């Protein structure tokens, strides 16, 4: 796996961090979650931009969003902020399959 792909995966993970921090900031009313949001958002975007030097934009963006969406949704299920249903879990597994598939065909 190339450096660009590793960076893309890490940036996708940071997307989940900033999304969760954004929720925890309560509309930017709480300082430390707001700071975490800004730092992780900037790092996530920078990593995505860097990865797109080697990975086509459509593939990079889809993988980045997919990783961030799955991790954000999984965290919400684990912390019980979202209700876990069989269909929701199946759809998240499908999204993981799509992300893996995009990597496989790239």
Give the pTM. Answer: 0.91
Question: Of 6, 88, 86, nearest to 50 (Cα)?
Answer: 6
Distance (Å, whole) CA 38 – CA 45: 11
Given a cut of 80, whether residue 46 has pLDDT beyond it is yes
> If pLDDT is split at 50, 70 and 90, which confidence band does 14 have?
very high
pLDDT, position 52 = 98
Structural domain that includes position 85: 3-105
Q: How many domains does the chain have?
A: 1
């Amino acid at each position: 796996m190339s450096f660009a792909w590793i960076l893309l995966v890490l940036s996708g993970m940071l997307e989940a961090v900033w999304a969760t921090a954004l929720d925890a900031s309560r509309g930017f009313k709480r300082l430390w979650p707001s700071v975490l949001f800004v730092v992780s958002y900037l790092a996530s975007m920078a990593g995505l931009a860097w990865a797109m030097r080697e990975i086509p934009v459509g593939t990079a963006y889809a993988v980045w969003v997919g990783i961030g969406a799955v991790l954000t949704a999984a965290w919400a299920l684990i912390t019980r902020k979202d209700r876990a249903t069989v269909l929701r879990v199946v759809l998240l597994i499908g999204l993981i399959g799509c992300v893996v598939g995009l990597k496989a065909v790239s």
